[in-house]
Structure formats: C-alpha cells, structure tokens
Amino acid sequence: MGFFIVIKEHIRKIRQKLMNHDRRAEAQEDLRQILKIKDTLFWRGDSPGGCAGVFSLSGELLRQVELIENILHDLARKDNDGAISKMVWHEENGVIPKDESEIEIVKEKMIKERNRNSSFPQDQVEELMEFEEYFNSYKNIS
C-alpha cells in the first residue's frame, strides 16, 4: 500500500510544530493535507446515517474532518492554545492508529479478507477507504 495513514505520532509532531512559532505555517499545511485526505474519504464513503450504537465509518470521518476544520479555524483566529488543546484531545481520543505496528496488524487482516472475497480496490482512495473501514472495525472489536 502506497498511501499516507495518519497515526498518533503525526498528530503529536504537528502539535509540536504548533508550539514552535517558526513552524506554525508548516503545521497548518500538514493539517490541510490531512483534512484533504479525510474529506475525500468522507465524500467517497457511504452516507453518515446509521442507528444509535451502530458504528458508521462516514460518521467517524465526519468527526475527524470537523475537528481538523475547528483546529484550522482556531489557528486562523490566532487561538494557538485552543488548537493545541484540540490536537491533544485528537491524539489521545481519536480513532487513529497509534503506530506503524497497529497499521500492519490491520493490513494483514484486510488483505486476508480481500483475498477471501477476491475483491481488490480500484484506486488509492478506495484502498485507503478500505483500510479506514477495517481499522475502525478492528478498534470497535478491541
């Protein structure tokens, strides 16, 4: 798989950049890139509907998009403390892989399921969507 998966370490590094005034613009660009990825996945995914208590991948992606938009909004208003606080919350509570080893566990499960069903993604967005879906179902089971 040749796509970018956001992990907790990425969030921590962006937060550290926000704490360094000279790297604030770089942090904002990183956040815009993550927003672009998550927003694309949200719009390519299923509708955010669903029943109470039932996991919705689109709902989770929407929460991530809204959080990143709020962080960028804080930064535009020069509320660095608010942005950093939201980044800390996202790092601690976000439904994102903690590290590369967790990604590998989910990839293995996903590939086994893919091979069992003989279905393969059409493009990188579809492949990343598939990963997000498997990761979120993995986190809901764990």
Would 12 be classed as within a structural domain? yes
Would 16 be classed as within a structural domain? yes
Would 3 be classed as within a structural domain? no
Q: Which of the two residues, 78 and 107, has the higher pLDDT score? A: 78
Question: If pLDDT is split at 50, 70 and 90, which confidence band does 8 have?
Answer: very high
Would 36 be classed as within a structural domain? yes
The H or E element containing residue 137 is helix 124-141
Q: What is the pLDDT of residues 122-139, one digit of tens each?
A: 677 787 888 888 787 777
pLDDT surpassing 90 at residue 27: yes
Q: Which of the two residues, 91 and 57, has the higher pLDDT score? A: 91
Residue 36 three-state SS:
helix
Tell me the pTM: 0.78
Residues 6+ apart with CB under 8 A from 133: 57
Mean pLDDT of the chain: 84
Would 47 be classed as within a structural domain? yes
Alpha-helical runs (H) found in 7-123: 8-19, 24-44, 57-76, 80-93, 100-117
pLDDT surpassing 60 at residue 1: no
* Residue numbers of the domain that contains 19: 8-141
How far apart (Å, rounded) are the C-alpha atoms in residues 112 and 90?
A: 30
Would 1 be classed as within a structural domain? no
Give the pLDDT score at 82: 96
Q: How many domains does the chain have?
A: 1
Would 2 be classed as within a structural domain? no
Would 102 be classed as within a structural domain? yes
